[in-house]
Copies of this chain bind each other. A is one copy, B any other.
């Protein structure tokens, strides 16, 4: 039996970064950027006015008397830069406008009174050179990389790409992920199950998690519990899918055909059985052309947990996405777990004295989805311990 750490590393070592594709900016949200984005201009691109008010020459303030300035025009945002030459002239200016040539101070509208094209500056106003002027290039210089490759394109990254002139971006292609349920007790959603049957739900759950992650396109199918049909099905899917996820049939039962069938069709097994609960019978291999094959246990909670813990990070690596920090949150109450296994424990988040804390909701023996409906995700209790104190901070994986 392999440890969670070794299982995870083995998987990451056997998956490679997939190709990119070009995508228009409006469709790039949540995808993975595959090239650096650099700015084609200084940030800001001009000396930018930061307040509505007037722009003047500081020499007007040298005398120390109350200052009265003649308004000779308006420098609005988006208008060509104007020029101020006389000491006691000024321009009315708008936030976002370029600082007029010759002007070096901005006085906010709250500090002036205007009558008949003259602005009188409040006596209380203290001149601070450069204040309310966002200097050209003070944030970033032309050519500087603003977005590195390998990041998720969220709202602020999309904005930066837009401001840098990228109408199109290279993003990670979204691979097809085969999601295959196994087990003769499973019937389709629209069927009324006989007393010994249940409806398929695992494959829909994994498909939903995949869609929610934005890292792949699910392609659902089903294998019946028949050794030769499982082999035929595997041979077909190995020719068509870039990533293969199977659910069930991977344990020690007489009808658990998968481990032998995978071997028969040339899938190299990298590990089978992981020191974890749930999900111990998890098997990972690679197909003849290197495709990762995740054979997850059929217990619903096991399948969903392994999908979050192993398959999603593998898909992130395949997308070229940089590792994302997992949050660590404190236990709301002590928890005990005796077996020397890593425990992926469903939890609910509550806000308490320590901030957001996690309350354990052990799933019981059934491991079905109804038992975890009120949970927000799972925490990872290391295999080494058995008693975990209140307040201990542990990695938190949110449900997708």
Contact = CB atoms under 8 A, between A and B. Distances in A.
Q: Please indicate which of the listed interface residues A46, A155, A158, A329 has the most CB atoms of chain B within 10 Å of its own CB.
A: A155
A162 B79 contact: no
Contacts of A30: 211-212
A189 interface: yes
A189 to B, nearest CB: 5
A351 interface: yes
Contact of A95 (B25, B162, B253, B327): B253
A79 B80 CA distance: 80
Nearest to A50: B365
A184 B400 contact: no
Interface in A48-101: 50, 52, 74, 76-81, 92, 94-98
Interface residues of A, number: 109
B373 A160 contact: yes
Interface string A155-197: 1111111111111000000000000000111100111111111
A209 interface: yes
A371 interface: yes
B78 A368 contact: no
Nearest to A76: B255
Chain A at the B interface: SS class: loop
A266 interface: no
A196 B41 contact: no
A313 interface: no
A74 B252 CA distance: 15
A295 interface: no
Interface stretch (A3-11, A198-206, A269-277): A198-206
Contacts of A355: 327-330, 354-355, 393
A109 interface: yes
Q: Please indicate which of the listed interface residues A39, A164, A202, A368 has the most CB atoms of chain B within 10 Å of its own CB.
A: A368
Contacts of A186: 78
Contact of A195 (B98, B166, B253): B98
Contact of A254 (B74, B146, B256, B349): B74
A162 B46 contact: no
A325 B357 CA distance: 12
B196 A252 contact: no
A399 B134 contact: no
A188 to B, nearest CB: 9
A298 B76 contact: no
A107 to B, nearest CB: 14
A365 B204 CA distance: 48
B202 A159 contact: yes
A327 B356 contact: yes
Interface string A202-222: 101111110110000000000
Contact of A190 (B39, B165, B329, B372): B165
A149 interface: no
Nearest to A41: B193
A314 to B, nearest CB: 17
A213 to B, nearest CB: 10
A165 B212 CA distance: 22
20 contacts: A25-B204, A29-B208, A45-B197, A50-B366, A52-B256, A78-B184, A81-B196, A96-B298, A154-B209, A155-B212, A155-B399, A158-B205, A159-B208, A159-B300, A162-B205, A167-B190, A327-B356, A330-B355, A353-B393, A354-B354
The 3 closest A-B pairs by CB, nearest first: A78-B184, A355-B393, A159-B205
Given A43-B370, A327-B356, 15 more contacts: A29-B211, A39-B370, A45-B198, A52-B252, A77-B184, A77-B185, A98-B195, A98-B196, A134-B366, A155-B399, A157-B373, A159-B208, A165-B189, A330-B354, A355-B355
